[in-house]
Amino acid sequence: MPTFIKPRWAIPERDATPESVFRSRRALIKSAGLGAIGLAAAGPAKAGIFDRFLGADEPKPDDEVDPTADLYPVSRNPAFAVDRPLTDKGLATTYNNFYEFGSHKRIFNAAQALPIRPWTVTIDGMVEAEQTIDIDSLIRSMPLEERIYRHRCVEAWSMVVPWTGFPMAELLKRARPLSGARYVRMKTFLDPEVASGQRQSWYPWPYVEGLTIEEAANPLTFLVTGIYGAPVEEQNGAPLRLALPWKYGFKSIKSLVRFTFTDQRPVSFWEELGPTEYGFFANVNPEVPHPRWSQATEEPLGSSERIPTLLYNGYAEEVAGLYAGMEGERIYY
Ligand code: MTE
């Protein structure tokens, strides 16, 4: 059974967690031998903790040429610029969270086992147009653009990445949700034969995430097909993932296979595992700490200096209106 070794920079959980939650999570983690999101970070990070992910063990090159490779690079949309340097590609593609392939950051080689073709995406539930689409036809039918987005993990590390993709609003146009649909529930692939993490039965596989229809239709909500001017790599969520730059990174679900429109609020993977720590909205707010650590600052990948975290991760102008009148609700974690 793998053992989870707590990194030196993690804060003691008991400092900030209600005793009962602390005890039950510790019991779960101990009995299962797993890491949970947030145990692998937070608190004052050590200088250079990311250095070891560079160079030494690069992802293995793909043998197969991606059938959409000819589409890249696409033009960058200048409306989505960020006043921070881009994260080094080597870091963004080798320091990952993808629990399907392990509860640690170094899953990039294991993730190459994911067969990303053939791949279909199903749209179902409360829509006028239920459909299953081949990923290549979907990508070729969409108006691709490149956007530079911030990404802020709930664990308090961050990056700045050039994603290629299309607004989720385009998928909504194609699905034509019924007027009673209030949410979209999204699902990652399920294949325990290739994804060893999915053999760990204490996790509620497959990974699920959800948005309100208004969030899904917001112009910032981006379905990603590419990264750094090329098709997105397996470890980053190929062939289709979400990028929600104003929410904690766990909402940006990877390797999507299904979008189900519904009138019921979906319960996400992390919410089901730890409802006191991970909620439905999970909007970034430096003033609302995670129950076990502060969210006031973050460590950009590749940097040893912490920087202040911004409300809605710097996207308040674009998204604060979505939550008008909801201030009393749990919208920040
Ligand atoms: N999607 C799936 N299916 N499985 C995961 O474990 N991890 C999430 C999110 N999407 C995760 C996922 C978390 S916690 C983060 S921070 C981002 O993916 C990390 O994206 P990256 O590895 O491309 O940086």
Contact 278, 268 (CB under 8 A): yes
- H/E element, 26: helix 19-32
What residue ranges line ligand 1, CB within 6 angstroms?
37, 96-100, 153, 188, 207, 236-237, 249-250, 252-255
Please state, in angstroms and rounded to a whole number, the distance separating the CA atoms of residues 234 and 236.
5
Q: Is 331 contained in some domain?
A: no
- 8 or 233, which is more confident? 233
Q: Which atom of ligand 1 lies nearest, measured to the CA of 92?
A: 24
Q: Is 333 contained in some domain?
A: no
pLDDT at 327: 79
Residue 181: domain span: 13-322
Q: Is 178 contained in some domain?
A: yes
Query: Which residue among 200, 252, 270 is best mutated to probe the pocket of ligand 1, counting the most ligand atoms within 8 A of its Cβ?
Result: 252
Task: Indicate the pLDDT class of residue 105, thresholds 50, 70 and 90.
Answer: very high
pLDDT at 224: 99
User: What pTM does this model have?
Assistant: 0.87
CA of 179 to the centre of ligand 1 (A): 31
CA of 255 to the centre of ligand 1 (A): 10
Q: Of the candidates 331, 323, 321, 319, which has an alpha carbon nearest to the alpha carbon of residue 287?
A: 331
Count, in order, helices (H) and strands (E) of the chain.
8, 12
Q: Is 191 contained in some domain?
A: yes
CA of 98 to the centre of ligand 1 (A): 5
Protein residue with its CA nearest to atom 24 in ligand 1: 96
Task: Indicate the pLDDT class of residue 64, thresholds 50, 70 and 90.
Answer: confident
* Total domains present in the chain: 1
Tell me the average pLDDT across 131-141. Answer: 98
Q: Is 262 contained in some domain?
A: yes
The three state secondary structure string of 45-111 is CCCCCCHHHCCCCCCCCCCCCCCCHHHCCCCECHHHCCCCCCCCHHHHCCCCCCHHHCCCCCCHHHH
Protein residue with its CA nearest to atom 22 in ligand 1: 96
Q: Is 327 contained in some domain?
A: no
pLDDT at 301: 97
CA geometry: angle 226, 230, 234, nearest 5 deg: 60
CA of 269 to the centre of ligand 1 (A): 11
CA of 150 to the centre of ligand 1 (A): 14
Question: What is the tens place of the pLDDT at every residue in 208-231?
Answer: 999 999 999 999 999 999 999 999
Question: What is the tens place of the pLDDT at every residue in 152-205?
Answer: 999 999 999 999 999 999 999 999 999 999 999 999 999 999 999 999 999 999
Query: Which residue among 187, 200, 247, 254 is best mutated to probe the pocket of ligand 1, counting the most ligand atoms within 8 A of its Cβ?
Result: 254
pLDDT at 57: 53
pLDDT at 61: 58
Token reading at 309? 């975290």
CATH of the domain at 310: 3.90.420.10
Percent of the chain whose predicted confidence (pLDDT) is above 70: 81
pLDDT at 58: 58
Q: Is 4 contained in some domain?
A: no
Please state, in angstroms and rounded to a whole number, the distance separating the CA atoms of residues 333 and 285.
8
